[in-house]
Amino acid sequence: MTDSKNAEISSDVSEALSSSEQQVKIAKSEKPPKGSIIMSGMRTTGRLHIGNYFGALKNWIELQNDYVGYYGCMDWHAMTTSYKSAKDVTADARDMYAEVLAFGLDPVKNVLFIQSQVPEHLELFSLFMMITPMGWAERVPTWKDAEADAKANDTHNIGRFTYPILQAADIAVYEASHVPIGHDQIAHLELSREVVRRFNHLYGGKLPEPKPVFTETPTLLGTDGRKMSKSYGNTFFLLQEEDELTKTLRATPTDPARVKRTDPGEPTKCPVYAFHKLFSPASDLPWVENGCRTAGIGCGDCKKKLGENINGLMAKPREKKKELLQSPDTLDSIIADGCQKARLKARETLDHVRSWTGFKSGPN
């Protein structure tokens, strides 16, 4: 067990990363009552990138002072597409756990767990599969949109098809009343609500129907100028070492109109400027905008300033992560404690579920 100092991040870093003006918005402008249970998670498919931060982790940190948070490193979900490299999925779960701690997610205020270490997820998932009509899963847009791609890369499997049903179990096993989501995840959450509603109707259960906490995230461009996606290999990792960051920025395209150093450009057409808006102080933006449009600065100058700003923000989380990984016993203790807390709550929920369905309670 550890105190909250093991998850410290400087207020400077938190405030700077919050300057992207991406604020948590609640459906119908109604915040959950204080003390409500919130559940969310991220797939353990590699290092955290800026999409993970602005799409999830930043919001978890903002919510942690007012709500009971259950936040997971979702390695079973990762296996749906990374089943051929299971050992990497396991390593990535540990690495992700260290990173969320390094950025300031407090293991005292929240329950942080690794999905595969809480087997109650799978028990509730099994029951939910029995009561979920095939048509409900077939209509989820992320399955329909990705089915052709899944067939092409050998991930057209049952696990990927039932992914949203496992998500429903992930939420319900902690009796969460709210889930932070982007607007592109409405269909997934609605399926979770329908599964829970059907369970309650069939068995007289009292599982909460999870409500959305809508989060606004910026449109993120990748390092090649296209939409950021792991499938494109153009993600921008958060805790890159300084030399790695330099290489990443060097390869990032700029406004194609700036062929020569003396050519003026348009910053809104440049991926580097989009990163400046996320990571640089507001006082730097006029320098970038005016310098680009007047050719007063070169693209190299612009990238150098961005690199300095990112390195300044990431220095403390980067070192904190190193400290955690270099103290494996401490990190293992934090992980074990978080997973144990998660299991206690999940077992309590499963006792209720078994009572409602008439099944005897399993061994503890």
- Of all residues in the chain, the percent with pLDDT exceeding 70 is 90
Look at residue 225 and give its three-state secondary structure.
Answer: coil
- The per-residue pLDDT for range 132-165, each reduced to its tens digit, is 999 998 888 777 777 878 888 898 899 989 999 9
Average pLDDT over residues 97-108: 97
**239-321 is classed in which CATH architecture?**
Orthogonal Bundle (1.10)
Average pLDDT over residues 200-225: 87
Torsion-angle region of 331 (φ positive above 0: left; ψ -120 to 50: alpha; else: beta) = alpha
- The per-residue pLDDT for range 40-66, each reduced to its tens digit, is 999 999 889 888 898 899 999 999 999
Look at residue 132 and give its three-state secondary structure.
Answer: coil
Q: What is the pLDDT of residue 63?
A: 93
Task: Give the confidence band of 182 by pLDDT, cuts at 50, 70, 90.
Answer: confident
Average pLDDT over residues 207-212: 96
Task: Give the confidence band of 363 by pLDDT, cuts at 50, 70, 90.
Answer: low
Average pLDDT over residues 348-359: 96
- pLDDT, mean over the chain: 88
CA-angle at 160, arms to 139 and 359, nearest 5°: 90
218 closest CA partner among 4, 15, 2, 17: 17
Q: CB–CB of 68/53 below 8 Å?
A: no
Task: Give the confidence band of 364 by pLDDT, cuts at 50, 70, 90.
Answer: low
Q: CB–CB of 63/95 below 8 Å?
A: no
CB neighbourhood size of 328 (10 A) = 10
Query: By CB neighbour count within 10 A (0-12 exposed, 13-18 middle, 19+ buried), where does 167 fall?
Result: buried
Of 88-92, 98-102, 220-224, the range with the lowest mean pLDDT is 220-224
Two tokens, residue 194: 């329908």
CATH label, 4-220+327-357, candidates 3.40.50.620, 3.40.50.11260, 3.40.50.2300, 2.60.40.10: 3.40.50.620
Q: What is the pLDDT of residue 22?
A: 33
Task: Give the confidence band of 15 by pLDDT, cuts at 50, 70, 90.
Answer: very low
* HSE, side-chain direction, 13 A CA sphere, residue 292: 26
* Domain ranges within the chain, ordered by starting residue: 4-220+327-357, 239-321
- The per-residue pLDDT for range 217-262, each reduced to its tens digit, is 666 777 887 777 776 778 888 899 999 999 999 999 999 999 999 9
